[in-house]
Structure 1
Amino acid sequence: MKTVLNRWNRLGLVKQIIIGLIIGIILALTIPETAQPITIVGELFVGALKAIAPVLVLFLVISAFAQHKKGQQTNMKSIISLYIIGTFCAAVVAVIASFLFPVRLNLVNSPEGFQAPEGLSEVLQSLLLNIVDNPINAIIESNFIGILAWAIVFGLAFRRTPDTTKTMLQDISNAVLKVVEWVIKLAPFGILGLVFESISTSGLDALISYGKLLVVLIGCMLIVALVTNPLIVYMLSRKNPYPLVLTCLKESGITAFFTRSSAANIPVNMKLSEKLGLNKDTYSVSIPLGATINMAGAAVTISVLTLATAHTLDIEVNFVTALILSFIATISACGASGVVGGSLLLIPLATSLFGIPTDVAMQVVGIGFIIGVVQDSAETALNSSTDVVFTAAAEEREKRKVNKMN
């Protein structure tokens, strides 16, 4: 048994995940009923990640701010700018693709039990209210905007405490990171259960009728991940961006694809940032912040489905309106985590730009839920992996500036 475990550990996490993925697919296609209990493994894995993520963010950010020294570089302004620029570029890519490859939808019944926001003001209001949420409630509800805000406040307060207190905070932070490491080691088994559940429950046939829509959505996300983001990274670093981009897609994107939760992937991104040698004071803030506002995949989803609705209803969309849609999709995507249902429930907000009735827009949301097993997975993979890409790119830019000065 010890020999088997040693060989398993030597494979590396990515290879282990691929093995779990293959086994999950085989079981789902061959013996779905017999292997049904496996789904609990996936649920436990995602549950563990979601449970530890708020605690991880809280103590990492408090510790980082408590020990931050005046004049110490964190690159947060650059990273936030990259998050917004990247999300806007993703929306533009989606708009262009929707014009080149227009999709017409077969509208289905509206989903029940969901309420779309009535306007941008409601999205922004929800985002602001999340900032001042009760800190205990923020942790319980995994409200990362609230957790981040209170962690910064407590971190600044702890700056005035003795070094022994700051050391204690650092020790707690390291202990939480060790727990995260243990949870991440279970990723291959968790993903085995998740992929089994997805295929055995939804099947592959349900997605065939929406093939063209999925091709446009996934195509846009691939362009953003493999063309737009690398171009942004190159402009900042003047280095080949693909080693960084592909590493992030491999080690962050794969896990995010199957967990379908940016919050659950925060521990994975923290570990990857540490592995890449990034500044802990920076990534301890930028990663949870990115899980909240860096939503390139959401911008793609909102833009593509909105324009697909417009094409279906034969609504003419001019250049100016398309540009406005890109801005709306960017702002909406940044506020997606503050709205129950994420990016799909922000589609009615965007379709209102074209005067499309809410009941029609909610039918499009219904289509979104049908293809969500692929769309939401790809969206989360893009969103989450980009958090690390832009954090690393901003740090590389600062290094270039320092080298020029020297």
Structure 2
Amino acid sequence: MSQSSHKYSLTTRIFIGMVAGIIIGAILQALFDDSGDLRFSIFSFEISTYNILVEGIFSTLGQIFIASLKMLVVPLVFVSLVCGTSSLTEPSKLGRLGAKSVGLYILTTAIAVTLAISLGLLVSPGEGLNLSTDAEFTAKQAPSFSQVIVDMFPSNPINSMAKGNMLQIIVFAVLFGIAMAMVGEAGKRLGAFFEDINTVILRLVTIIMNLAPYGVFVLMAKLFATIGLDTIGSLAKYFVLVLAVLAIHAFLTYPILLKLFTGLNPWSLFKKMREAALFAFSTSSSSATLPVTMETARNKLGVGKSVTSFSLPLGATINMDGTAIMQGVATVFIAQVYGVDLSINDYVMVVLTATLASIGTAGVPGVGLIMLAMVLQQVNLPVEGIALIIGVDRLLDMTRTAVNITGDCTVACIVGKSEGEIDEAVYNDPDAGIREEEVDLKHFDQNS
């Protein structure tokens, strides 16, 4: 890295990478058709520029970046949870953290889906549309709620870590940390060992974060080179409505809850969430963004370690406000396209199902579409209707992931405030975390 890179903060450089990737992707989308027909010859070899850039360089580097982020999730969650739990002096505190976190996550999800249905009925995004429903969508079978509760407890914790089953990892880490706290000196020695591992993992997070502008660039270039604007055009009303509800929930619901429960200034939260939000938008994964979310909550928002170690991994697993908003709008949209009139009772059932499903399908691949399939089946709408919105769902998924991690940090701040585990001086300091970031950048440059 050059010395000139210090002129810009990491957030600014990530934003520059994202914008540059969007521009490059849009140019490639304009120059090449779906088959990448525009070709040129070098040294008598016919080479597809499109395939080399998009399917080769961009795709490969993007997958490496995502894999690098996911690589950190399991060790970070396990080690930080063990450290946080083993340091608790009050056993009852863990129960309070769990009850408050889960309760707030369920509350925000219920508000999200209710807001989505209300605005969906007001705007009517599917009325008058005659979209083709020839496309097929096969929904994966979602487990029952009782089975999800059983599956939270790992029979083989090593296998749970290998598969990245976050709920099982959280349960095992909490139990392991409690056991450490109960064994006295042996637990303290082991706790010091885990603290050292945690320090190393956080340094690894810093290294990956400094590569983020390049990772974000290739992800955006790949995405916008493969998504056509014509797909968005046919679903413009649905697309814009989902974005609008996501914005209202992020910039109205969260600030109201934060101000109501803590008295803290919501603007400080939004300013400090920029970097994590850009990560979430680029990766479309709350889990992949978790290392950045935890770093933001601890160093920039001043939330205590025990709260961030518990609430944020839990939120990345079960808090799906953005997905709930998509479900609410999509249910109204699909019902209107198919000409099905839903009753008030049906919409109440959608709210309940979507809220419970945010926990009930945690850890299942393709969670957003599985949850929507569950909701549609609950009110007897055709699951095949999901095929209508798949074309634009990738872009919406990026936005709702940014909303999800903002909700995670909002809940962490509320829980931290209620437990006396938030440093308000750090929260209100506009430079909190930035000074540490600059030191890390210099350290990284000197060793690169």
Question: What TM-score do the two structures reach when normalised by structure 2?
Answer: 0.82
Residues 319-361 of structure 1, C-alpha deviation per residue, up to 9 Å, x if partnerless?
A: 33322211111111223333321111222221223222xxx31
Q: 1:345 to 1:162 in 2, by over 3 A?
A: closer
Contact 2:307 2:415 in 1 (8 A): no
Q: Give the counterpart of 1:381 among 378, 388, 402.
A: 402
Residues 195-225 of structure 1, C-alpha deviation per residue, up to 9 Å, x if partnerless?
A: 0110111233322211111111111111110
Instruction: List runs of 5+ in structure 2 lacking aligned partners.
Output: 30-49, 425-448
What secondary structure, in the 3-state scheme, does the structure 1 residue paired with 2:413 have? Answer: helix
User: Residues of 2 paired with 1:242 and 1:197: CA distance?
Assistant: 33
How far is the alpha carbon of 1:317 from its aligned partner? 2.6
Give 1:14's aligned residue: 11
Give 1:25's aligned residue: 22
Residues 53-89 of structure 1, C-alpha deviation per residue, up to 9 Å, x if partnerless?
A: 0111011111211222126856613222211111110
Q: Give the counterpart of 1:122 among 132, 139, 144.
A: 144
Give 1:169's aligned residue: 194
The answer to whether the aligner puts 1:324 opposite 2:349 as a matched pair is yes
Contact 1:116 1:348 in 2 (8 A): no
What secondary structure, in the 3-state scheme, does the structure 1 residue paired with 2:303 have? Answer: coil
Contact 1:123 1:339 in 2 (8 A): no
Q: Give the counterpart of 1:371 among 388, 392, 410.
A: 392
Q: 1:216 to 1:60 in 2, by over 3 A?
A: same
User: Residues of 2 paired with 1:262 and 1:225: CA distance?
Assistant: 15
Give the letter for the 2:22 counterpart: I
Q: 1:272 to 1:173 in 2, by over 3 A?
A: same
Contact 1:237 1:400 in 2 (8 A): no
Give the letter for the 1:89 counterpart: I
Contact 2:166 2:363 in 1 (8 A): no
Instruction: List runs of 5+ in structure 1 lacking aligned partners.
Output: none
Q: Give the counterpart of 2:172 among 131, 146, 150.
A: 150
Contact 1:310 1:354 in 2 (8 A): no
Contact 1:60 1:173 in 2 (8 A): yes
Q: Give the counterpart of 1:252 among 266, 276, 300.
A: 276
The answer to whether the aligner puts 1:396 opposite 2:414 as a matched pair is no
Give 1:269's aligned residue: 293
How far is the alpha carbon of 1:163 from its aligned partner? 2.2
The answer to whether the aligner puts 1:230 opposite 2:252 as a matched pair is no
Give the letter for the 1:257 counterpart: F
Q: Give the counterpart of 1:40 among 49, 60, 76.
A: 60
Q: 1:395 to 1:23 in 2, by over 3 A?
A: same
Contact 1:39 1:196 in 2 (8 A): no
User: Residues of 1 paired with 2:332 and 2:104: CA distance?
Assistant: 25
Residues 153-200 of structure 1, C-alpha deviation per residue, up to 9 Å, x if partnerless?
A: 111122212422211111111111111111111111111011011011
Give 1:93's aligned residue: 115
Out of 381-390 and 392-401, give the one that drifted further: 392-401
How far is the alpha carbon of 1:395 from its aligned partner? 1.9
User: Residues of 2 paired with 1:96 and 1:113: CA distance?
Assistant: 28
How far is the alpha carbon of 1:400 from its aligned partner? 11
Contact 1:297 1:379 in 2 (8 A): yes
What secondary structure, in the 3-state scheme, does the structure 2 residue paired with 1:371 have? Answer: helix
Q: 1:239 to 1:271 in 2, by over 3 A?
A: closer
User: Residues of 2 paired with 1:231 and 1:221: CA distance?
Assistant: 15
Q: 1:220 to 1:340 in 2, by over 3 A?
A: same
C-alpha RMSD of the superposition:
2.4
Aligned residue pairs: how many?
Answer: 392
Aligned pairs for 1:155-234 within 5 A = 155-159=177-181, 160=183, 161-234=186-259
User: Residues of 1 paired with 2:76 and 2:388: CA distance?
Assistant: 35
Aligned pairs for 1:329-368 within 5 A = 329-356=354-381, 360-361=382-383, 363-368=384-389
Residues 258-305 of structure 1, C-alpha deviation per residue, up to 9 Å, x if partnerless?
A: 101111011011110122221001101111100111111111111111
How far is the alpha carbon of 1:18 from its aligned partner? 1.2
Q: 1:72 to 1:346 in 2, by over 3 A?
A: closer
Give 1:136's aligned residue: 158
Q: 1:111 to 1:56 in 2, by over 3 A?
A: farther
User: Residues of 1 paired with 2:316 and 2:290: CA distance?
Assistant: 7
What secondary structure, in the 3-state scheme, does the structure 2 residue paired with 1:338 have? Answer: coil
Give the letter for the 2:63 counterpart: E
User: Residues of 1 paired with 2:154 and 2:101: CA distance?
Assistant: 23
Q: Which has the larger radius of gyration?
A: 2
Residues 86-142 of structure 1, C-alpha deviation per residue, up to 9 Å, x if partnerless?
A: 11100110111111011226253444565243xxx6255245314325212221221
What secondary structure, in the 3-state scheme, does the structure 2 residue paired with 1:103 have? Answer: coil
User: Residues of 2 paired with 1:311 and 1:344: CA distance?
Assistant: 19
% identical equivalent positions? 25
